[in-house]
């Protein structure tokens, strides 16, 4: 099956000029101007921008929430919600609730999304420690379960298990060794809460051990000023930080202005999509809860470009930076790599999504939905 996208301004993330893209099944096989292929289905998008598909490394694909009672649990995500956000690759994970949610269901949903046509991975663990697992062992989950590439944990949050620094060291060491054996990135995704401790435990571990900084992946790092300043220090030490987008884009713009551009290659975006957002009052009681959208990244990309940031800088936060951080060597708009492509119109609105060569969204209309949608 051949598809030919013609006359698009291509960014990967740097501008590559006006190009045609020839796709054969799930791969990009040719990338140059004025390609001719009579056997291909033609998609002529002159005046449109072609970008790599968005990689969202923080999605609650089996649902989230539950903090306000059973009725506040969010449902499993549908494929069409992901496609509407331009997402062609994801990492699924659990959140606060690992009692009514479990790793078995998470792995099953990850496999289902792969069968429906996108690239999907997941994390073992959840907010709490000891970490919930599929096999009874974090190391075995990473080593033997194809989809599992790391572990999730909450720190500096009133919902965490208050893991000791020594326990956290041992957890990170297990992640490291298992990922070395399995040839995986071995990430320890750290949900960061509002507590004043911030990244103190991580800084202690980096001082006291030889564990590489890139195993630690703090997320939600702009939720308060103390945590953000810790994160800027973490960046300066060579670590990756992940910013949750889709909420206050004006704040996002201001936060990015505080980051030295020399460190832009180590900043990533994620949506926290399909999870719950929650607010607590001064007594620690839940005052508000809702569902996080899955289109936060694409909406933030549009906002940031329209407010003066370069396309190259903005799109790397959700494409090349993430693929490098997760060691996804088959991602990017290059010959031989996965045909994950999104097209934006002149207003930077999402027009087309192609995932692994499969047309998912064309002319802003979803043409492929999940099996039971």
Whether the bond between 130 and the residue before it is cis, its omega within 30 degrees of 0, is yes
141: helix, coil or strand?
helix
Known active-site residue 272: yes
Q: Exactly one of 26, 97, 272, 340 is catalytic; name it.
A: 272
Phi then psi dihedrals of residue 237, to 5 deg: -85, -5
Chain centre distance of CA 117:
17
Answer whether 350's CB lies under 8 Å from 359's CB: no
- The number of CA neighbours under 13 Å toward the Cβ of 84 is 15
31: helix, coil or strand?
strand
Integer Cα distance of 178 and 354 in angstroms: 33
Integer Cα distance of 228 and 23 in angstroms: 41
Q: Determine if residue 302 is left, alpha or beta; phi over 0 gives left, psi from -120 to 50 gives alpha, anything else beta.
A: alpha
Answer whether 333's CB lies under 8 Å from 12's CB: yes
**Catalytic machinery residues:** 272
């Amino acid at each position: 099956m051949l598809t030919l996208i013609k006359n698009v301004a291509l960014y990967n993330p740097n501008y590559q000029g006006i190009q045609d893209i020839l796709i054969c099944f799930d791969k990009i096989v040719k990338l140059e101007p004025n390609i001719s292929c009579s056997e291909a289905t033609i998609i002529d998008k002159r005046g449109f921008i072609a970008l790599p598909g968005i990689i969202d490394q923080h999605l609650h694909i089996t649902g989230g929430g539950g903090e306000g009672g059973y009725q506040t649990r969010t449902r499993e995500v549908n494929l069409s919600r992901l496609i509407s956000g331009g997402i062609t690759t994801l990492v699924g994970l659990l959140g606060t609730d690992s009692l009514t949610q479990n790793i078995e269901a998470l792995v099953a949903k990850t496999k289902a999304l792969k069968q429906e046509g996108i690239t999907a991975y997941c994390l073992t663990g959840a907010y709490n420690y000891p970490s919930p697992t599929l096999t009874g062992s974090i190391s075995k989950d990473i080593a033997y379960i194809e989809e599992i590439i790391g572990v999730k944990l909450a720190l500096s949050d009133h919902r965490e298990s208050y893991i000791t620094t020594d326990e956290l060291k041992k957890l990170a060491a297990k992640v490291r060794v298992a990922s070395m054996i399995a040839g995986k990135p071995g990430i320890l995704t750290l949900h960061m809460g509002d507590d004043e401790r911030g990244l103190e435990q991580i800084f202690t571990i980096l001082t006291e051990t030889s564990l590489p900084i890139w195993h630690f992946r703090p997320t939600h790092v702009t939720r308060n000023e103390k945590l953000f300043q810790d994160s800027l220090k973490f960046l300066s030490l060579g670590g990756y930080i992940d910013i949750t987008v889709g909420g206050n884009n004006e704040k996002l713009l201001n936060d990015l202005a505080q980051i030295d551009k020399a460190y832009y290659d180590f900043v990533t975006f994620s949506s926290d999509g399909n999870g719950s957002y929650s607010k607590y009052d001064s007594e620690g009681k839940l005052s508000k809860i809702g569902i996080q959208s899955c289109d936060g990244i694409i909406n933030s990309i549009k906002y940031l470009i329209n407010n003066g940031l370069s396309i190259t800088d903005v799109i790397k936060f959700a494409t090349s930076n993430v693929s490098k951080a997760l060691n996804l060597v088959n991602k990017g708009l290059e010959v031989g790599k996965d045909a994950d492509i999104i097209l934006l119109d002149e207003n930077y609105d999402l027009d087309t999504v192609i995932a692994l060569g499969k047309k998912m969204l064309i002319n802003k209309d979803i043409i492929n939905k999940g099996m039971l949608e």
